[in-house]
Structure 1
Amino acid sequence: MSTDRYTNRSGETPPQIPKLPADARFKGKEDYRLLADPLPTPQAEAISKLSQGQLLGLLEWLVPRDLEILDSLRSAKYLLTGQIQRLHVPVVKSQSGAIRNAANTMRKLKSYGLVKTFQRRIGGARAGSSSLIWCLTEAGQRFLNARDGLESSRRSHRYLEPSYVHIRHTLAIAECYVQLVEISRGGKKLQLKSVEWEPDCWRPYTCDHHRFQLKPDLAAVVCNGEYEDRWFIEIDLNTEALPVLLDKCKRYYQYLATNIEQRQNGGVFPIPVWIVPEEDRKQKLIAALDESFPNAPNMFAVITAEEFGGLIQTGADGIELH
């Protein structure tokens, strides 16, 4: 593929874990709509004490979709029920039906002690089940490690819910990934080739004899026709002052000068994309970039969240860089 252009382009209950309600009939008005108890359930406590071999016994009770969802949660850290549905549960008759199916699956995985929810929601309780936030439990992490032949330590720790800002930021990164997957499904010309999550997308480098790390939120490669578009994605939720963003932009210029990325990818440096919440923030960041780096090459795309899908579909050609 050519890259010769500059593109910053349920089953029964497992016998060793008694009394799991995995075979209970799902009712749309039951507990998948309720706020979750942040304390571990007895079932989750029982599973957390299983050996690695016993955890692998759960494979008999999980279907491929269950495993795909668990893998997505390991990569993204947090996902909304609606995002899980868009990734893994196709719409057959209606969107609401697909959401119910996704919620039912998550309810089963929760009864197995592999996933949990948080008390807070994104979008409020009126958003229904699609606003529930899911993550792996410690047992879920250990189960995936056991399946993949990786070592994991068994440790007990007090439940700590992440901050609201951290959850929002992580879910915004996940939303970019979900949109990339949906765009890739929707067209023959566009294919999502690879995605690197944190910390795999971080890039170490040296500048003036000091070691640094460039830490994008996400890195993606999209095949767009005969070309590859490479992107470093940065999510701004208007929670940081502009000087903090500009300091990170400085790191991008430093990393560009090392030529590390270009040597590894046929002379191509990914386009850093700043995704901001609103037009006013976009214009302020563009003005700050122009003022702070007047003699530096234009290398940043600055867009609102609503413009992300259009940017990926258009590709690196024709976008304005700052």
Structure 2
Amino acid sequence: MTVINSDRVLAARAFITDRDVCLLEWLHDHQVLTIEQITAALYDARKTATDRLLRLYRLGILERFQHTTPGRRTLYYVLGLLGAEIVAALRGDPTPRAAEVVARQRRIAMSPHLAHLRGVNQFFIDLIAHARHTPDAGVMRWWSERQCAEPLRFGSVSMHRVRADGHGIYAEGQRRIAFFLEYDRGTESVPLLLDKLKRYEQLTAQGGPAWPVLFFLPDRARERQLHQQLGRGLVATPVATATREALRTERCVADGIWLPVGMQERPYRLIELDTFSDPADDAALARLDRRPFTQR
């Protein structure tokens, strides 16, 4: 006699994989990913990803929507109700109400900041995809703006005024680089970018980590303008810039596209920025973080 479990979360345990769980947790923390991003980070073939995502969608684990821009139609995935319930069970959180999940899906799909969110997530997806195919490389941490702002994420130092677009730790061999990301679409004035940097400097002055602030810019003209402004005064926090334009000739954001402010004799690889950074080893993180350091 076959007993069918009447609880849908318990029933889902029979067919969700570790890869599925990873995706669900990413969607919980980072809201939305495109099919291209999911394929690059977790799969070796587009068809394999498409087939699996379609099954998860039909089961209510994922939800999806299309967004059309001139010349391009993109398929986005978010958590479905069952997916949200699974993540809540995994993390020991209260079971979300259906209306809450639907409201979240609608907010994401209709957000005027969808392109910015997609760009921020693309930065980390590029790193993860690079690490998948690079021996001894790995993304040790990927935190969203919301996660960075949570109390005690960085010990007693508050991040609520900084509002980083993201925070990550990337490793190659025995080297690690921790960083904050500022993803710039070119829609804000350069003085506003400088004001953001002042907040990071205040964070460092209050005992926060002196990790590089990475300004990821749309083009070289914007990069030159920012460096000119930063070169007029002393910068107390490590800063490096790179452009999406540079990715036309390089493979990804881990490559030699980063120009540290004040050290522009050559582009640096991402991992090489650890030279200008506070350490991001386990001991340093344990002193700073109130939450356990774990490698995903």
Equivalent residue, structure 2, for 1:287: 228
Question: Does 2:173 correspond to 1:173?
Answer: no
| Letter in structure 2 aligned against 1:168 | A
CA apart distance, 1:314: 5.0
Equivalent residue, structure 1, for 2:42: 88
CA contact (8 A) 1:190 1:223 kept: yes
Write out per-residue CA displacement over residues 69-124 of structure 1, whole angstroms, 9 at most, x where no aligned residue.
2222223211111111111112xxxxxxx112211111111111121222314684
Equivalent residue, structure 1, for 2:141: 194
Equivalent residue, structure 2, for 1:309: 254
Write out per-residue CA displacement over residues 114-146 of structure 1, whole angstroms, 9 at most, x where no aligned residue.
212223146844x6xxx3111112442122212
Separation in 2 of the partners of 1:82 and 1:124? 16
Question: Does 2:272 correspond to 1:272?
Answer: no
Equivalent residue, structure 2, for 1:58: 12
Q: TM-score, normalised by structure 1?
A: 0.67
- Rg (Cα) greater in structure: 1
Question: Does 2:239 correspond to 1:300?
Answer: yes
CA distance 1:203–1:140, shift in 2 (3 Å): closer
List alignment gaps of at least 5 residues for structure 1.
1-13, 17-52, 91-97, 262-268
Equivalent residue, structure 2, for 1:220: 168
Question: Secondary structure, in 3 states, of the residue corresponding to 1:192?
Answer: strand
CA apart distance, 1:212: 5.0
Equivalent residue, structure 1, for 2:179: 231
CA distance 1:271–1:106, shift in 2 (3 Å): same
CA distance 1:162–1:111, shift in 2 (3 Å): closer
Question: Secondary structure, in 3 states, of the residue corresponding to 1:72?
Answer: helix
CA apart distance, 1:165: 4.5
CA apart distance, 1:303: 1.0
Separation in 2 of the partners of 1:163 and 1:54? 29
CA distance 1:88–1:121, shift in 2 (3 Å): farther
CA contact (8 A) 1:203 1:213 kept: no
Percent identity over the alignment? 22
Separation in 2 of the partners of 1:317 and 1:161? 35
Q: Residues 26-175 of structure 1: matches in 2 within 5 Å?
A: 53-90=7-44, 98-121=45-68, 124-125=71-72, 131-156=74-99, 159-160=106-107, 162-163=109-110, 165-175=112-122
Question: Secondary structure, in 3 states, of the residue corresponding to 1:62?
Answer: coil
Question: Secondary structure, in 3 states, of the residue corresponding to 2:113?
Answer: helix
| Letter in structure 2 aligned against 1:192 | V
CA distance 1:255–1:188, shift in 2 (3 Å): same
Separation in 1 of the partners of 2:206 and 2:179? 18
Write out per-residue CA displacement over residues 183-226 of structure 1, whole angstroms, 9 at most, x where no aligned residue.
32333353332222232223879xxxx99532211212223343
CA apart distance, 1:55: 2.6
Equivalent residue, structure 2, for 1:249: 197
CA apart distance, 1:272: 0.4
| Letter in structure 1 aligned against 2:203 | Y
CA contact (8 A) 1:116 1:137 kept: yes
Equivalent residue, structure 1, for 2:282: none
Deviates more, 1:180-189 or 1:153-162: 153-162
CA contact (8 A) 1:204 1:213 kept: no
CA contact (8 A) 2:132 2:138 kept: yes
Deviates more, 1:170-179 or 1:158-167: 158-167
| Letter in structure 2 aligned against 1:249 | L
Write out per-residue CA displacement over residues 223-261 of structure 1, whole angstroms, 9 at most, x where no aligned residue.
334332121111001122222212111101111111232
Separation in 2 of the partners of 1:88 and 1:195? 15
Separation in 2 of the partners of 1:298 and 1:256? 7
List alignment gaps of at least 5 residues for structure 2.
153-157, 259-268, 277-296
Separation in 2 of the partners of 1:241 and 1:192? 31
CA contact (8 A) 1:191 1:223 kept: yes
Aligned residues: 246
Separation in 2 of the partners of 1:121 and 1:313? 33
CA distance 1:204–1:247, shift in 2 (3 Å): farther
CA distance 1:203–1:231, shift in 2 (3 Å): farther
Higher relative CO (CA 8 A, sep ≥ 6), structure 1 or 2?
Answer: 1
Separation in 1 of the partners of 2:151 and 2:139? 25
